[in-house]
Structure 1
């Protein structure tokens, strides 16, 4: 048994507790949340800390298998150049890939992350995830823009997913510009038949919308670079997000990731459809790749389930949800710590379907406990740090 007392405890599901005391058992299960006027129900020594206790963080978007690409790709080159670099550089010695992925897993643990929605294009991280202290849900990502190869690519994804079982795993589309209508339909059919969480890269650059609206922009050059004939593609006269929504299942939760160029019309368009859309921001990756941030203000007060992710070390300097919160706080000062914590904890837990155990500090749960120090009036600053307690 352990008890921790801090200046405040933020359960997330309830009001902050001033001079709060959290007691956990040896397995990290919450025994009680009290304040200094009500001692813990069990006679346990109380460790007094300076700062704020919050639940463990949920990272809903990462690519651990790309961790070996840290510092290999120049910042600010734009998404299309980033994709070219990934395709050129991602092949490496398996020992190096595994060592970097294992270090990334440990880094997330030390930064107070307790659960990860992780993108995989192969099975290289299976054993790392099986041994990890973190909870992982793996999204096996399907790419295939050529219609004739849809079944082949989907079958390959099924085989990869089998290698992750019995871990939590599902099959998902990579992005609108890499998945044909035929492949989207196969994913929808599969998703309609059983549990299959979806996570889709969405509107990371203006060229994605230009391509879908007018068949113009840099993606034409990318397909030419890759030797892909896109004569079959017809512009949709609407943004990429609006174009693919009818192709998606209404039976599964769907995470739209990045949303750098998503506008209010896109948000309103989606609300007209019966789809279980969630939204993930990875601000530091957006700055790393495109040197811009999503229009976060448009998403606030819309009643949307918003989560946070780190993306990969190919597009970020560290895997730290606090660092993502800091960037959002600095660029959108009106965001409260209560809102940011919801995005960083319970919203991600709900999307991953683990909110019965993680996401809030409640009796009976095992959410993990983090201590935040260096706050200024509940604002995240350059001095704010996270320390994992449990």
Structure 2
């Protein structure tokens, strides 16, 4: 057994403990979380900083890791999509090596579980030997109605390659999935025991403009890919309001990015019996669009909020602490205890692994992170994360 005493321990399921002590066994299982006046028997290692559970990264694209520093920043989402498609054909070994390196980077940065988007089988081998828990989202693209069945059947085939690991079929985004494909996914989700959904949502104003008026940069995107979308009619409402009714009420839904989601969208979603969770990836938003979501609008609205890194195509690192820092810098009223909850317990609950991860509760194996270099409870440029167990 090992015991660590820190300036604070954040169990997450309970209030922070000043001078708290965490004891784990050789497998990383939490034996006890105690106050300093109730020390366990045996040696105690003193560490400087805050001990938290391991981080949960609910949105990543490991298969895009080879694109680090290859996509121009702040070019907007439509140009980002064009660049990603143009760069996809890369040497296979380079892709696999980058995926393995990304997995190790997340482990070193205190991440213990990942919701990972996949459009190919490139990450299958890595996930079978990784120290991290992965849930793989098989992402479907198909905005042309006549392709819905073909796209869905290909997704089913790819899903089988990731089994028996956690995996599910999900829509990519409102602008890339037809109503017919949404219906196929809903039917599948309604009949599946566990088919978590993860959808890119409102990453730019043009997404809402396209849905409301059939105007904006997405018309150029469809033209770029040679797609005839004459069938599509303006919906007279934002994208998320248009697709919410098409989603299963049985499965948990993660809406990712939400860069241009407003209060009306949030209130609209509340009218539906859907299991909505939100994920913020602030550094990717800054990289692609040069702006952040209005994250403070989502606080205390009754929804589960999680954090993600997105991919190395849109981020300099795969580090949840860095995402927490970006949020705290822009929204100082969102404190470290709440950010830690978003980075740990909430993500574990969404992925359905909260019986093992997400909090420092006895009997769990959540991983232990030490966050150092804080200014009180404020994250600074000098703040670092280190795995303790």
TM-score (norm 1): 0.99
Distance in 1 between the 2:140 and 2:358 partners? Answer: 29
- CA deviations on 1:355-375 (whole Å, 9 max, x unpaired) are 010000010000000000011
Match of 2:174 in 1: 176
Aligned pair count reads: 388
- Distance in 2 (alpha carbons) for counterparts of 1:16 and 1:263: 32
Corresponding residue of 1:86? 84
Query: How many Å separate the matches in 2 of 1:245 and 1:19?
Result: 46
1:138-287 matches, within 5 Å, as 138-194=136-192, 195-287=194-286
Q: Deviation per CA, 1:159-192, whole angstroms, max 9, x where unpaired?
A: 0000000000000000000000000000000000
Partner of 1:300: 299
SS of 1:199 mapped into structure 2: strand
Whole-angstrom CA distance in 2 between matches of 1:181 and 1:7: 52
**1:51 maps to what in 2?**
49
SS at match of 1:104: helix
Alignment of 1:340-379 (within 5 A): 340-379=339-378
- Using the alignment, how far apart are the partners of 2:132 and 2:28 within structure 1? 13
Structure 2 distance, partners of 1:62, 1:17, is 32
Measured against aligned partners, the alpha-carbon deviations of 1:230-287 in whole angstroms (never above 9, x if no partner) come to 0000010000000001100000000000000000000000000000000000000000
CA RMSD of aligned residues (A): 0.6
Indicate the residue corresponding to 1:8 in structure 2.
8
Q: CA deviation at 1:91?
A: 1.5
Q: 2:333 aligns to what?
A: 334
Give the 3-state SS of the residue equivalent to 1:115 in structure 2: strand
- Structure 2 match to 1:127: 125
Moved beyond 2 Å, runs of 4+? none
Question: What pairs with 1:55-134 in structure 2 (closer than 5 Å)?
Answer: 55-134=53-132
Gapped regions of structure 1 (runs ≥ 5): none
Gaps of 5+ in 2: none
Name the CA distance, whole Å, in 1 between partners of 2:143 and 2:7: 53
TM-score (normalised: structure 2): 0.99
